[in-house]
Structure 1
Amino acid sequence: MLSITLNLLLLLSVSEPDSSWRKQYDIITPTEDLFVVKRYYNDTINPVRIERKWKAGIVNRQGHVIVPLMYDDISRFSEGLAEVVIGGYCTSCWDRRECKSFALEGEHGFINTKGETSIPLKYKAVGEFQEGVAWVISEDEKFVFINKMNRIVFPYRYLAAQGFEGGLARVDINPNKNDYDGNNFDNYIDHTGKLLIPARYQFIEVFQKGELRMYSRQGRYGFLDTNGKEIVPPIYSFVSMNKQTDWQGLRMVGQQGKYGYIRKSNGSVVIPIQYDSIVIAGKNRIWVKKDTIWGAVDATNRIRIPFAYSKAQPFYHQLACVSVNGKWGYVDTNGILRIRAVYDQAQYFNEGLGVIKKGNKWGFVDRTGKEVIKPIYDYAGFFNSGKAPARWKFLSVTLDQQGNWQTWRITTQGKQFILIGLLIILIIAYIYNRLVKQKQAVKVKIKN
């Protein structure tokens, strides 16, 4: 008990570390148990961008200087080493085209956590150390990999390179290829420097655990496993690169203007490639279009909502907007038309009410189809926290779920209309007064 009390007293007696040292720096960035610190020394205007110049150093948590403000830039530490630069900036990119436009300035090297130079500042750009090695750009502007002893680990020089991750690094070896989607890499190497992918591919995605990776060859797309083996030949004319189209572990692909889904893990076709268009409807449904008509299927391609709609939108709160013969209504996830398609426009439900439009006026319906707020507004937004914005003539109003006005204000257009009206009244009054005065002047003149 006595020892616990003494320890508590000791803890209470220790003062908070002095942080006044922070005031002398403009930028302080934590890295491991140290801080990279920077101090501005002048401003310059670059024709491309506005920059602020600084000097960079390293201090410990007590503010004691480990590296004085002697470098033009210092990066974060990675595997015990940090990039330092004189005459430029740290390499903030891994793509050679970006580096040539930004980071190929000055001399780049590495220091350790004691501030000692571990790798001389002699490279045009460097990447951070990952899995014991880092890429560097030499005088001939080629990429090579070095270890922490500054020894080249592979006798190969690449057009571009990326750091190792999961035992693999992406490299570019083909100077004649056309980049796909701005990507600059066409192969992978392991820690022996062995190329894993034949050079015949135009583009290969980054490998991710549990997924096949798409490749392109002669304008067609297929899939490889993590060993570079072709699992799916290049049979597709389209493969979605948008993660938002991924669904239920599936990926959208296309052939000759038709679309479907394959399994990301093995490339097997799950949703046949027979639909004109596909939109994710919700967690367990996708809208599919066939011969201009939309229906919905599940992840087994079983039809869940019959093909009956000319347009369809995703589900929100178990209801989706659908169009039949130019009119809009709402269907549930079982395909039952809950609200008849009688509206000129409809938007999704939120907080129990959906936004509908009749003619040029907006209102709200509940889930039974009852128009709880009549369509009398020139504009209506969605409900949030029990309130929805709307516009009625020249007034912006806030509605509650019963349609009562909670707040209102005159719109900018309304204010302009009022000002124009007042101006017209003033002009009419001015003209009237002038006419009256002229008439009075004529009468006086006649009398005289």
Structure 2
Amino acid sequence: MGEGSWGYNDDKGNVVIPVGKYKFLNPLDEKGMILAELKNKHGYIDIHENIIVPFEYDDITVFSQELACVKKNGKFGFVNRKGKIVIPVQFENETFFRKNGLALVTKNKLYGFIDKKGKEIIPIKYQNANHVILDSLVTLKKETKWAFFDSFGKQKTDFVYDEIVTTSLNSKDTFWKNGLILVRKNNQIAYLDKNLKEIIPFGKYETGERFNKNRIAIISKNNKYGIIDEFGKERVKAEYDTIEHPEESYHESEIFVAKKGNNIVLLDEHGKKIYDKLKDFSFDYCRMDKKIEKIYHIQNLNGKYGAIDTNGKLIIPIIYDEFEDFGSNYNAIVKYKGKFGLIDSKNKITYPIENEAIYADRRELDYYLINKNNKFGIIDKNLKPIFNFVFQDLSPCFYDTKNRFIAKQNDRYGVIDRGGRIIIPFEYSKMSNWIEYGPGENYHFVTKNNKEGLITKEGKIVIPTIYDSLFYNDENTIILSKNGKYGVKNLQNKTVIPFDYEKIYSDLAFFPKNKEIEFYVLRNGKYFVINNKNKVIKENISKKEVEDKFSYLN
């Protein structure tokens, strides 16, 4: 009864508004009103289910400046908190009132602004319009040009701008709160202050970006880039080939990266130099004095790696051949003079730099897998031994990377758990880990005595190791060969196609799942096609056609 419906409980879990009646309920607003949907119509109720705004609207918004926008028969208007229509339903767009007391409305595909009484403060006659949350200014477009107006409807500039750019401050849009307004005219840019005076005139810079919350912007002149402040002063001289904000954790960072030739310069969010003469850099986080702090990995022009803090102080000397991220952990993997080890954020060696390789999953750090003198072992994240260096090879099983490992001893592979218990005996000369086009994470392809087979992750034999070759086709078919003959079996080791053929090919890419699988087979020097019931469905296939079709398998 309550599926797809909403209700309210009080803080003790008592039902106040039962489910089963309203298709949607918004949280209580500051005046104790609840936006609700009932029988595909929208209105407002209070916590006692008294109807305040009747359920007669196709849609309704939250209240803004004590008015809510309603939709009825494809048109929009406004109601007050008593449910009374105060601005008739007549507009073509859903809208709301900003702090400047205006709402942007459209009628007959033209734009204008109204006040809370519905009066046209700026006539609805313009081709486009824009207003922002933080400013009282609005902009309107007449034919192809833009102009500024104030919130009283007074025109402040001529219609001369090709573009007026908004920016963002604390996730709210603004024209000038970040410092200056970027405008474009006749393929030139300028910057205006809040009084719409040109602080930086048209033509001074070739390109310019909007001002950010730190009240600076990237500009260029003579194809060189710099950074200016809101007074027009060049905070960073226009001498770089590029300046941009690098990407950090899937968003644009506040810092700047400037490039001049092969030299990279890091600048902080205010344009102050952090570090220069770099070949590359990246963001990282590490534990410093029990706190997680942001740092920058840096690579100098000679290709060596180190790290600095956000003030540019060198915390890891630039001496390493490789330097993996800390990833918010205490230790990082480094390579120095051809060997690998671990260091902490103070460059203290926490695990000797004397190993051929070290592997760790930094995103979910649980252990370090180490190759030392061509023997493999594992230490935990606290650098305590899990496995001593007794294995010829060691790798985490993809189906349980924390607790199971494919190991090699005495030239044979098996599977062990984290406690050293043998799950699959050491009796195979080859053992696959999970592969993308295999039978899934529950199986291993294995080789024993130069014969191939398939076992489960618990070591149970699915396809015995008696075959000369094994090719996984799909979840129902595996192509096998034995004594020069090919056949097909399924994952239950049941024969699908008998071992009567000199060759079998199949390519599922050519056949949709809902179509019968076709096998190209060779017998007595002739190619033909059979289905999975071993029935011939096509004869007289040329050798060239088969070789061309399956050349990637040979």
- Quick check: which one's strand share is greater? 2
The answer on 1:143 being equivalent to 2:155 is no
**Contact 1:315–1:321 (Cα < 8 Å) also in 2:** no
C-alpha change, 1:169 and 1:366, in structure 2 (3 Å) is: closer
For the 8 Å contact 1:237–1:254, the answer to whether it is kept is yes
The answer to whether the Cα contact below 8 Å between 1:355 and 1:381 also exists between their aligned partners in 2 is no
What is the aligned residue count? 363
**Which string of whole-angstrom CA distances, capped at 9 and with x for unpartnered residues, describes residues 99-143 of structure 1?**
xxxxxxx1111122223333221011111266432110012x100
In structure 2, distance between residues paired with 1:294 and 1:169: 39
The AA in structure 2 aligned to 1:26 is D
Give CA-to-partner distance per residue, 1:17-60, whole Å, 9 cap, x none.
Answer: 41572463235343222211224x5xxxxxxxxxxxx3222222
TM-score, scaled relative to structure 2: 0.55
TM-score normalised by L of structure 1: 0.66
Alignment of 1:403-418 (within 5 A): 411=440, 414=443, 416=474
1:313 paired with 2:322, answer no
Query: Match of 2:527?
Result: none
Alpha-carbon distance change, 380 to 253 in structure 1, aligned in 2, over 3 angstroms: farther
Per the alignment, do residues 114 and 328 of structure 1 end up closer, same or farther by CA in structure 2, a change over 3 Å counting?
A: farther
Residues 369, 263 of structure 1: alpha-carbon distance in 2 compared, 3 angstrom cutoff: same
Counterpart in 2 of 1:222? 226
2:51 is matched with: 18
**Structure 1 position 274 matched with structure 2 position 277:** yes
Higher alpha-carbon deviation: 281-290 or 227-236: 281-290
Query: How many percent identity over aligned positions?
Result: 19
Q: 1:372 to 1:220 in 2, by over 3 A?
A: farther
Give the Cα separation in 1 of the matches to 2:178 and 2:186. 25
Consecutive aligned runs of 4 or more in structure 1 exceeding 6 Å deviation:
245-249, 361-364, 389-393, 399-405, 428-431
Secondary structure at 1:61's aligned position in 2? coil
Measure the CA separation in 2 of the matches of 1:156 and 1:34: 32
Distance 1:26 1:248 in 2: 38
Supply the distance in 2 between the matched residues of 1:74 and 1:281 (Cα, whole angstroms).
Answer: 44
Deviation at 1:366, TM superposition (A): 2.6
Q: Which amino acid aligns with 1:302?
A: L
* SS in structure 1 of the partner of residue 54 of structure 2: helix
User: For residue 86 of structure 2, what is the aligned residue in structure 1?
Assistant: 66
**Paired residue for 1:422, among 471, 486, 490?**
490
Give the residue type in structure 2 aligned to 1:80: G
Separation in 2, partners of 1:209, 1:143: 25
1:123 equivalenced with 2:154 (yes/no): no
Structure 1 residue aligned with 2:382: 367
Change (3 A) 1:207 1:292: same
Output one character per residue of 1:204-234: Cα deviation in whole Å (capped at 9) or x when no partner: 3333454543211222111212111223321
Amino acid at match of 2:206: Q
Shift of 1:276: 1.1
Structure 2, gaps ≥5 residues long? 1-31, 33-45, 166-173, 286-292, 408-415, 423-438, 444-455, 457-473, 479-488, 501-554
Q: 1:236 to 1:369 in 2, by over 3 A?
A: farther
Greater share of helix: 1
Within 5 Å, give how 1:201-350 maps onto structure 2. 201-208=205-212, 210=214, 212-242=216-246, 244=248, 251-265=256-270, 267-271=271-275, 273-282=276-285, 283=293, 285-290=295-300, 291-298=302-309, 299-302=311-314, 304-324=316-336, 329-339=341-351, 340=353, 341-343=355-357, 345-348=359-362, 350=364
Distance 2:55 2:387 in 1: 60
* Amino acid of the structure 2 residue aligned with 1:24: Y
1:227-254 deviation line (CA, Å, top 9, x unaligned): 1122332122232313639999964322
Classify 1:172/1:22 alpha carbon distance in 2 versus 1 (closer, same or farther; 3 Å).
same
- Higher RCO, 1 vs 2 (CA within 8 Å, ≥6 residues apart): 1
For 2:103, what is the secondary structure of its paired residue?
strand
Partner of 2:367: 354
| Root-mean-square deviation (Å) | 4.3
Structure 1, unaligned runs of 5 or more: 1-10, 42-53, 88-105, 178-185, 383-387, 394-398, 432-448
